[in-house]
Each structure stands twice: as C-alpha cells, then as structure tokens.
Structure 1
Amino acid sequence: MHLIRRPPSAPPLLDIVGEGEGLRTEFKRKVHSPTKIAKPIAAFANTCGGIMLIGIDDDGRIVGIQSEKEALEIVHEAIRRHIDPVPDVEAYVEMHRKRMVLAVVVPESPHKPHFHLSTSLDSHTCRPCTARKIYFREGSSSRAMGEEDAALMMRNAACR
C-alpha cells in the first residue's frame, strides 16, 4: 500500500460523500478489524475498483478518524494478511472542517481473483483453518461469490 498526496484528478470529498455508497464507494466510520476492512478492498479489486472512505458514517456524515497512523496500520494489515494475492492500493488523507478522512483507493486488478482470508476453528479438529472466499461488489455491498462464478473468474484470469 502506498500513501500518496491527494491526486489532483480525485473528485472532491463532498462530491463522493454526496453520491452515497455504491458500486465503487464504501463508507466506514472507523477501522478496528483488518478482516472486515479486507472484504470491500478485495471486492473492489475483483470488480471495477473503488474507494473506501474511513471516517464517514453509513449515512454520509463526516465523523473523521482519530489517528491516521493507526488507520493506515489496520488497512495495511488487512491487505497484507487477509487478501491473496495482495492488490495494489493507494491511500491519502482528506481534511474537512478539522476532521480527518482516510481515502483508500483500489483499482480494478489485472490479477483476479483476490481471495479474502479469514481464520476460524475447524469444528471437527478444533484447529485453526483458513477460509478463502472471493468477494465482488454488487450495488453498495461486498458479496461472496458462488463456486461456479469463482471458477469462471479464475478461468478468465488465467487466459489474460
């Protein structure tokens, strides 16, 4: 993940927020779980790209984040430990009325599919196991892909 200056071509924060959540936009009030943050990032990479704004309520209120460093660390951990292969991601900070918003920009990936990795206990062996799911964007949601759709995506990715 690369921390960059706000690109001159980036739309103004209020324009993005005004459009609401959708296929290419996700709002997060705060980040506390790398595995939850990884889902929309993987979904954006697997679909048509997008931007996650951290410090924005679901209703579009700008609440801001307390610590840029802490938010970046959680996003970095999400990308590094919970997505395979690791997608290209850039981030920049926006200020609005003394409130800090972290913009996480995820382009559509040429290296699809990106798997979301989560660890849980196997119910039979009581040992940790890693679940690998493929997420994609559908409207304003990140949804897990069925096996048939995932197989089709993998075949298409192998042909590139």
Structure 2
Amino acid sequence: MSALTHIASNGEANMVDVSLKTDTVRIARAEAYVEMAAETLETILRGEHHKGDVFATARIAGIQAAKKTSELIPLCHPLMLTKVSVELVPEPKLNRVHVQTTCKLTGKTGVEMEALTAASVAALTLYDMCKAIQKDMVISGLQLVEKQGGKSGHYIKEGENA
C-alpha cells in the first residue's frame, strides 16, 4: 500500500503539488444505491411525485456536486471536467435505485473524488426529494468502480466489467 500523499513529512495536511505531472486522460466511475419501499419507487417511476421529476433533479445535483468537489473536500484540486454523467437506474425487483456516475478530463490529477461526490450527492438528493414519503430509505454501497489514467494506471473493482 502507498504512503498517504496528503500528509507532509512533518505530519501536517497539505495539497499535493501536481505541477510536474504529465497531462493524461483521466476517467473515474463510481456508484451508490438508494434502497426504498416499492411504493416510493413506483411514485418516482410513475412521475407522480409532488416535487416533480426526482431523477432529473438528482442528476443535475450530482453533476453540480462533481463540479464543486474541490470546494467540499479540503485538499482536492479544482478541476476542469470535460464530462460528468449521472445515471439513475431503477431496480424494482430490489426496491432501489442504482446511481452510476462517470467523470472525465485531461489533466494532472484523477477524478475519483468527483465521481464519488457526484454519486453521493445524487443519492442524497433522491433521499431529500422522497423523505416526505419515506424517511427510512437507506443509502449504501458508495464506492469507486473504475479509474483510468495517471501513474497508478487502470483500476477496476473486483467483479466489475469495464
């Protein structure tokens, strides 16, 4: 396992200097799940939620969150993202929504935190929009699924297909 890169030799937190790194295409995919009652999911899918289009709102929230990651996570670099996608896949048999995000850029540092932030905020937005209907929804499984680019190369979560 590598050393922690955000801790200086004196033990203080610091922002990593990436100025000498080479620009490469960086891609990261993340996911999360929002588990809910069948009735809650049906309300969303029928488009009958009194707050409007739940999926559209969560998708926009996830995209905005990816763009603001450096404002939320103290030592993250501000990035010029070239792509952010948020997919919300209903899984009625499992009473949940699968949140899948992808972030991409050409740059000196990775986009894992942006993909994870997009997934978490999209999931939180689903919860927020539906909490009047159901308060015991569960957000779970937030994780990095894949990353490409940079010195550490290509990572795919075990059991995933690229």
**Would the TM-score normalized by the shorter structure come out above 0.5?**
no
The structure whose RCO (Cα within 8 Å, separation 6+) is larger is 2
TM-score normalised by the chain length of structure 1 = 0.29
Rg comparison, structure with higher value:
2
Q: TM-score, normalised by structure 2?
A: 0.29
